[in-house]
Amino acid sequence: MGDVLQLKDAAAAFEREKQVWKMRLGFVPLKQIAEQLECTVGEAESAFIRMLGDVPPDFRARVTREELERIDQLERVYWVKAIQGDYRAAELCMKFKERRARMLGLDAPPQSEPALMPDRVRISSTERISAALDRIAGKVTIEGTAIHEETSPEGGGG
């Protein structure tokens, strides 16, 4: 049977997890938290995740807004330098933009065909499978209609 966690130990563990929570919200790196609380980085990260629990939608929205505001503040600092040709500043601005797009769900999933080719006829996977089955069954397709190829029992064709 498993060990029962004593109430005193449970309270101490909860207090430690609250410390991890407060430190992470203060942008303290996990490595530093682990060193201060004398635990592993994995334990600190697990404690933080446990403290997150189910994140209420309003809290998630508020944190997202705050993070977007921070990204905007950082981007404003580097934008002028980027426009003036500072490569590192431009690189940082691109990272800010990428992060913002990910947070807002603006990144489009990769496509196998370029979106700039609208004239190209797209065949569904169902149509491709059907055509493959028709070929296996010896059917000939003419303008989308499958026609059985007549063969004689001797295999001579007609």
Tens of pLDDT along 104-138? Answer: 888 776 666 555 555 556 677 888 888 788 778 77
What total of structural domains would you count in the chain? Answer: 3
- Which amino acid would we find at residue 123? I
pTM score above 0.75: no
E strands, the chain, in order: 139-142, 145-148
- In terms of domains, do 21 and 43 share one? yes
- In terms of domains, do 48 and 64 share one? no
- In terms of domains, do 47 and 83 share one? no
- In terms of domains, do 62 and 100 share one? yes
Would you place residue 7 in the very low, low, confident or very high pLDDT band (cuts 50, 70, 90)? low
- In terms of domains, do 144 and 129 share one? yes
- In terms of domains, do 99 and 126 share one? no
Domain contains 122: yes
- Range of 61's domain? 57-104
Q: Which of 22, 40, 19 is nearest to 31 (CA)?
A: 40
Would you place residue 89 in the very low, low, confident or very high pLDDT band (cuts 50, 70, 90)? very high
Q: Distance of CA 60 to CAs 56, 63, 149, 153, Å?
A: 6, 5, 62, 71
pLDDT of residue 1: 46
Contact 29, 56 (CB under 8 A): no
Mean pLDDT score of the chain, rounded to an integer?
Answer: 79
Select the more confidently predicted residue: 25 or 87. 87
Domain contains 141: yes
Domain contains 80: yes
Contact 100, 71 (CB under 8 A): yes
